[in-house]
Amino acid sequence: MVEGSHLPTKRTLDKLGIPRTTFYRWYDRYLAGGPEALEDRSPKPSRVWNRIPEPVREKIKDLALLESDLSPRELAVQFTDAEKYFVSEASVYRILKAYGNPPEI
């Protein structure tokens, strides 16, 4: 529509109510990848940078099963000391809750 307009690009975009920066970002995506590049994308990152890896989560669960009398705080301290990998009390609690086994506090 913008390319086919008899008006200058800026005036066409003003009439459409589209900021120039938005248009040119869309236009660059279209030129690089065609119409498919304009489809909605998920705004969230594909990987969370501070997520505890699954093998570590498994080790925490296993420790909790071995030491079932320990609180999440005590499990976090023991795990950090033994594995040299820091996990917080809240992280331990969330991991155990995800497995359906949060200890009593």
Is residue 19 domain-resident? Answer: yes
Cα–Cα dist 80/93, whole Å: 14
- Residue 63 sits in the same domain as residue 27: no
Q: Are residues 30 and 64 in the same domain?
A: no
Q: Judge whether 16 lies within some domain.
A: yes
Q: How many domains does the chain have?
A: 2
Residues 60 and 94 in one domain: yes
Q: What is the pTM of this model?
A: 0.55
Q: How far is CA 59 from the centre of its chain?
A: 23
Domain span at 87: 54-98
Q: Is residue 80 part of a domain?
A: yes
Any domain includes 46: no
- 93's CB contacts (< 8 A; 6+ apart) are 72, 102, 105
pLDDT for the residue numbered 105: 46
Structure confidence by residue, pLDDT tens digits, 62-92:
999 999 899 999 999 999 999 999 999 999 9
pLDDT digits (tens, 9 = 90+) for 4-26: 889 999 999 999 999 999 999 99
**Are 94 and 62 in a shared domain?**
yes
Looking at residue 12, its pLDDT comes to: 92
- Please give the angle made by the CA atoms of 14, 17 and 21, to the nearest 5 degrees: 80
Whether the CB-CB separation of 102 and 95 falls below 8 Å is answered with: no
